Structures are given as structure tokens and as C-alpha cells.
Structure 1
Amino acid sequence: MGLTSKEASRLHERTGREWRNGRIAPNRRRAPVLAEQEPVPSSTRYLREDERIHIADRLREKASVRAIAAEPGRSPSVISREIRRNGMPLSGDHSRWVYRPHAAQRRAGDRRPRPKPGKIGQNVELRDFIQAHLAMRWSPEQICHALRRRFPDRPEMHVVHETIYQALYVQGRRELRRELAGALRTGRTRRKPHRYAASRRPRFSHPRVMISERPAEADRAVPGHWEGDLIIGKDGASAIGTLVERATRYVMLVHLPQGRGAQDVSTALQTTVQTLPRHLVKSLTWDQGSEMAAHHAFTVATEVPVYFCAPASPWQRGSDENTNGLLRQYFPKGTDLSAQRPDQLETVAAELNSRPRKTLDWETPAERLHKLLAA
């Protein structure tokens, strides 16, 4: 007939709505509602056009956002955000909000290309202000606060300091003059990442056995299971090893005259452990400090398995943590522990082992251990 879409919509209002919204022809059989099928989570990150058509259909049927999200396996927040971002006010009645799937698809596609122009590159006044103050050797954070104080009612002049750093360092942007990076306090022309994940060496060369695999008898029911740690001296340059037996709370201090490297700790622990009867050394529990990187060599030499606590879980070695606190009465923080002789460490350990403990019914750790040895 040679009519435009707008003219055809006036003559056939229902057909026009279906063309506009991507609906199927009225004489064709409608596909079953997705709610009757098993929800299949979408593997794509972005909504597809057919999903947007489904959202428009279900909104027209007055379905809730949660019901719409459950059918294609999407999160309700995804659907809610899609309607809010890609919907539009109804022409002639701005109080009503409509969602048109094909227009929403175009709008989402227009926003997707990367990289996007930055805020500094689009605002000449903002760029000139930042460049002038960088030349005066102001830090990006100082510039950001100055912008908020100078232009409190102009949000287009507000940025965070990370935006300035990206404008300086990111190659594709070129929003600020490259030579201004030299005015920063670091003087770097390239950004230095804090970590290089690809070049980071693993802390342990052999697999660790976690505390979850420790035998149930280690729960203070059977003697012979030990907890260990280091107390660190002045400037981290010296240390003393601590060993606490879980059932009796008996303490042994490990002399580390050569330092707290992994091999030094392994050798010193082997020497200390071999002074005990074999049946009183069944396992050792340690935290994930790098000083136990040679745990495999220790196990091979002593046949004592080493179990590791979960990260940041000191309560999994509660007896040893408590003992370390007691030891700070003898070795306050900032003490040079390398000056301590083996006989001095033995004296301190003997004092701790002769203290009565409430958890032992006021017996001493030495008394409990003596009973075990006698038995």
C-alpha cells in the first residue's frame, strides 16, 4: 500500500505494536512460556536481543522482575538495571516508563565500545586546571580536593585521583601531557604495579598438608602433637622458635643463631625434635610463614608430618599463640634475640613449664609430661 510504519500503526494499532516490539504474528502459534522450562543460566556476560524481547513481552504481561529473571536464568538485579538503563519515558506521558527491546539493544551496543573518551579529555577547562597544578608539583589527590573546593556546584569538574593517574599513564588516552608525569613525587613516567603475578615465586616448593587433614587424635586427646611458631626480634633480624605440646602445654624453645631462613629453621627443629622420645612427636602444626618452606626436608629427616593452618587463623594454634604472649614477658618486642644463648632459652622454658595451669587442673606442664614419660 506504500504506507510508512507510523501510518500503518495508526490504521492497525495492534499489528504496529507487534512490529515495533518484535512480537510474533498473531496467526502463528505462540511458543511456550520459558517459565515452564528448566531455567538455564546464560553463559554470556551481556543480554542478547532475544532476551530483551522476552523482557518486553513479560513486562507487558505485568510479570515481576524476579519472575522475568528466573526464566532465562539471570539475576534480578541484571533485569532491573536493564529496564532502568535502557527503558525510556513514554512520549506524551513522561510519568510512564516503557521498555522497547530493539531500541534497548541499540542503546546498549552504542555504550559498549572501548576505550571510552575520558572525562579529562572531554573537558578543556578541567584538563587545563589539572595540568597547571601538576606543573606546580601538586599531587593528584591534592588537585582532586582543590577541584571540589573551587567548583562545589559543578560535578563535571570533579574527578578522583585515580582518573588523573590513568590520564597520565594509560597509553591510549593521552589526556594529559606525558612530561607532566615527571612532576609527580615518584618521578616515574611509567606506572609501577605492586605485584607481578606471573613472576611471583611460590612460597612452598612442596605441597602443603592443611590442618583439616590432621588426625582427630591431635585434638588434645593423645599427647605428641605439637604447635610451632617464631617470635621475631628487633627489626625482624632475629627470632626464636617456639614448640608447644597440645595435651600438656609443655614448651620448648628453639635456638636460631644463624637467622630465620627456611633451611635454618628446618635444621634447628630437627635437632630439637630428636631430643624427645619418638612416641611424643607425632605431628607439628605451623602457620603459613615462609620459614617453613623446607617442611618437606624436615618431615623426611624426622618422619614427623607438618600441618598448616588456614591463612590468618591464629586460633588454630591457640596454645602456641598464648605461649608467645607469655614469652613477651621475657623477650619484649624490639629485643635483639640473637644475643640469647641456648642455656638462657632453657631457663625461660623451664620457668614456663613449672607454672601451674588452670587448664591442667593446676598441675604444671612439666608434671604432666613426667607422668607421660613414666607411663
Structure 2
Amino acid sequence: MDAKTRDDQVLLTLAERKSREFLMLRIANKTSGCVMEAIKQLQETYSEHFSEVFKTITTDNGSEFADLSELEKMVDTLVLLCSSLHVRDKGTVERYNGLIRRFIPKGKRIDGFTGQQISDVETWCNCLQRKVLGYKTQDEILEEEIDRIYQATA
């Protein structure tokens, strides 16, 4: 990492496998502490349903994901590690990372983009109709799944 990007923010990108819903979370830097803080915020958002929405999280073996093993101790979410050389193990998120590059080119500083711009990219990605989803959008599928989860516990 060069000096130009060392003090820049980064985007933590997550893809939910069933719905293909894509999340882009701006974090202060590429450290395990910042990644865990972002995951804790997601836990707060989904509260007791976090483990039902996020059954597994697949990451590469970068040091920024080192503390995710602690997540398994706190909730029923399984953390899977894949080799960073085998991006096929996390193809969905890699596909979205490629789509992000249309709007946020590699090498551009993340802190140069507003929260609204990042949110707009995330929204654009989640409003794509996908053949694999029966030509529904990711947002539609996730909404159906969350409704199912919340109705099951009502």
C-alpha cells in the first residue's frame, strides 16, 4: 500500500448469497478492527435475525478479516476463508467489485466520494434484474427473504 492510499478510507463489500444483495460499507481503513466494527453495525441493524440473514460470510485470508473468527463465537454465522488466489470461491462479490469500478475506478481515493455517491452505486447494483433470480432484483429477493424470516418468528 503506498503512502497515497494508506490514509484513505476503504469499502468493505459484502454479497448475500441467496438474494445476491450487495452491501458497500465505508470504513476508516483496512484493519481488522474497522471490519469488525462494520460487522457489529450490521448485527445491530438485523438484531436477533443477523444469523438468519447472514448464515455464512466468506472472506479471503487478508489480515483485515483476522478477527472475524470471533464472530462465530458471538452468533450462529459461519466464517469461511478462501484463498485470495482463488477468487472463484467468492465470485459474486468479485463480480460486484468489478461493477463498482464503473463508478469508482481503482486507485481513486474513497474519501473523494460522498456517502450519497456510494449509496447510489450500491442501489444501482441491487436494482439489476438477474436471470439467476428469475429476472427479479436483489432488493426484491432480499425483501421476500426478510419477510419470511420475520414472519417465522412472529
- Compute the TM-score of the two structures, normalised by the length of structure 2: 0.80
Question: Is residue 40 of structure 2 the alignment partner of residue 270 of structure 1?
Answer: yes
- Alignment partners' CA distance in 2, 1:343 and 1:272: 19
Q: Which residue of 2 aligns with 1:300?
A: 73
Quick one: structure 1 residues 339 and 273, their matched pair in 2 at CA, closer, same or farther if it must change by over 3 Å? farther
**Any conservation in 1 of the 2:9–2:26 contact (CA below 8 Å)?**
no
Matching residue within 313, 319, 333 for 2:92: 319
Aligned residues: 141
Quick one: structure 1 residues 268 and 339, their matched pair in 2 at CA, closer, same or farther if it must change by over 3 Å? farther
Residues 154-197 of structure 1: CA deviation (Å, up to 9, x unaligned): xxxxxxxxxxxxxxxxxxxxxxxxxxxxxxxxxxxxxxxxxxxx
Instruction: Extract unaligned runs of 5+ from structure 1.
Output: 1-233
Deviation at 1:251, TM superposition (A): 0.6
- Alignment partners' CA distance in 1, 2:73 and 2:141: 29
**Any conservation in 2 of the 1:283–1:306 contact (CA below 8 Å)?**
yes
- Alignment partners' CA distance in 2, 1:326 and 1:305: 27
**Any conservation in 1 of the 2:72–2:79 contact (CA below 8 Å)?**
yes
Question: Which has the higher relative contact order, 1 or 2, with Cα contacts under 8 A spaced 6 or more apart?
Answer: 2
1:307 is paired with a residue whose SS is: strand
Q: Which residue of 1 aligns with 2:14?
A: 243
Deviation at 1:240, TM superposition (A): 0.2
Deviation at 1:284, TM superposition (A): 0.5
Q: Which residue of 1 aligns with 2:57?
A: 284
Partner amino acid for 1:327?
I
**Any conservation in 2 of the 1:270–1:298 contact (CA below 8 Å)?**
no
Residues 299-357 of structure 1: CA deviation (Å, up to 9, x unaligned): 33444221101351100001011010001111111211123344433222112111111
1:255 is paired with a residue whose SS is: strand
Matching residue within 125, 134, 146 for 1:361: 134
Between structures 1 and 2, the one with greater strand share:
2
Aligned-CA RMSD value? 2.0
Partner amino acid for 1:243?
L
Matching residue within 253, 264, 276 for 2:24: 253
1:317 is paired with a residue whose SS is: helix
- Alignment partners' CA distance in 2, 1:246 and 1:266: 20
Between structures 1 and 2, the one with greater helix share:
2
Q: How does 1:1-375 map to 2 (within 5 A)?
A: 235=5, 237-256=8-27, 258-276=28-46, 277-278=49-50, 279-375=52-148
Quick one: structure 1 residues 274 and 302, their matched pair in 2 at CA, closer, same or farther if it must change by over 3 Å? farther
Q: Which residue of 1 aligns with 2:152?
A: none
- Compute the TM-score of the two structures, normalised by the length of structure 1: 0.35
2:14 is paired with a residue whose SS is: strand
Q: Which residue of 2 aligns with 1:132?
A: none
Identity of aligned residues (%): 26
Instruction: Extract unaligned runs of 5+ from structure 2.
Output: 149-154
Q: Deviation above 6 Å: which 4+ runs of structure 1?
A: none
2:136 is paired with a residue whose SS is: coil
Residues 267-296 of structure 1: CA deviation (Å, up to 9, x unaligned): 112212432333212110101111111123
2:19 is paired with a residue whose SS is: coil
- Alignment partners' CA distance in 1, 2:71 and 2:38: 10
